Amino acid sequence: MSTMDQHRIVFLERDSIRGTFRRPDFPHAYVEYPLTKPEELAPRLKDASIVIVNKVQLRGELLATLPNLKMIAIAATGTDNVDLAWCREHGVVASNIRGYAVDTVPEHVIALTMALRRNLLAYRRDVQAGKWQQAPMFCFFDHPIGDLHGATLGVFGRGSLGEGVARLAEAFGMRVLWGEHKGETKVRPGRTAFEAVLREADVISLHCPLNDATRGMIGEAELKQMKRDAVLINTARGGLVDESALARALKEGWIGGAGFDVLTKEPPREGNPLLAIDQPNFILTPHVAWASARAMQTLLDQLTGNIEAFARGEPRNRVA
């Protein structure tokens, strides 16, 4: 592409992010769609040079049909929905968003952790059922309450989100263990062996990307290695955990509880074993840990900056 005024920008999922999107500061044509279905991708992208995508799948078979494509601006940190190998092979720049959720996701993690460790949902359910009103004294102790202070947090994934969770955890007086990659025989300085984290942690929080190495990293065997009262938190990607095994773990008491913000398929139109869990030791939120108003605006501002940097010939935040 010889001149910037030839750029055609297509935003495929504008409704997936709330806030003000500042259009890039160079001549361009622009079109946005609230959402885009798989069958709508080809006609909507046929003339695009820059594509903005959040969660829609962009596989190599489709990308190969887009001769004008020069950049994929991913409106998220996760990149597993984009065929990055194809982009690298064919010279298409792909950039993602970084650091925008360093406060909001860690706060969500701590909120889930505190609610589960203190059994807030179980006590709330009891009050709604009239148990406090009928109690023989001023309180009752039917569910164990665990402090964060003095507890051990195991973190898998030492990016900005994992670091953010660790900072908050340490402020509460938690001991933090940084987990080594699964299957690694050599443990790096400052890390703890994968299996040791499973055994020692009172709370485990996942902050890994989803790829071939991490898919299914927590399954039946790993859940059975955890403490019986341990809590598993996942605000990263659903595919990191075997959801059927987790459902069994919660029903049969292998672990103390779990707080999830993600599922393998979203939205879960075809069901999911975790949707059937109706227990106060399991909290499921609809992939909103990232979505504070401030974080979403930061994301949109960085998205515009990524596109402008590419147009200047200085692409940043590259993943391909």
**Phi and psi (nearest 5°) for 253?**
80, 30
What mean pLDDT do residues 1-23 have?
Answer: 85
Q: Do domains 4-98+294-311 and 104-284 have the same CATH topology?
A: yes
Dihedral, CA of residue 270, residue 13, residue 319 and residue 310, to nearest 10:
170
Helices 104-117, 120-128: inter-axial angle, 10-degree rounding? 60
DSSP 8-state code for residue 313: T
Determine contact, residues 82/53, Cβ cutoff 8 Å: yes
Partners of residue 51 on adjacent β-strands = 10, 72
**Phi and psi (nearest 5°) for 241?**
-125, 140
For residue 4, pLDDT over 50 is answered with no
CA-CA distance, 262 to 266, in Å (whole number)? 8
Determine contact, residues 297/19, Cβ cutoff 8 Å: yes
The mean predicted confidence, pLDDT, of the chain is 96
CA-CA distance, 75 to 11, in Å (whole number)? 10
Its CATH class, for the domain covering 4-98+294-311, is alpha beta
CA-CA distance, 131 to 192, in Å (whole number)? 43
User: Is the domain 104-284 a CATH 3.40.50.720 member?
Assistant: yes
- pLDDT tens for 15-27 read 999 999 999 999 9
Partners of residue 178 on adjacent β-strands = 155
For residue 259, pLDDT over 90 is answered with yes
What mean pLDDT do residues 138-153 have?
Answer: 98
CA-CA distance, 58 to 72, in Å (whole number)? 9
Band of the pLDDT at 1, cuts 50, 70, 90? very low
**Catalytically active residues, by annotation:** 237, 266, 287
CA-based torsion, 133, 134, 137, 140: positive or negative: negative
Angle at 106 between CA 102 and CA 110, to 5 degrees: 165
- pLDDT tens for 151-199 read 999 999 999 999 999 999 999 999 999 999 999 999 999 999 999 999 9
The pLDDT value given to residue 2: 41
pTM equals 0.91
265 half-sphere exposure, CB direction, 13 A CA radius? 7
The pLDDT value given to residue 6: 81
Band of the pLDDT at 5, cuts 50, 70, 90? low
Domain ranges of the chain: 4-98+294-311, 104-284
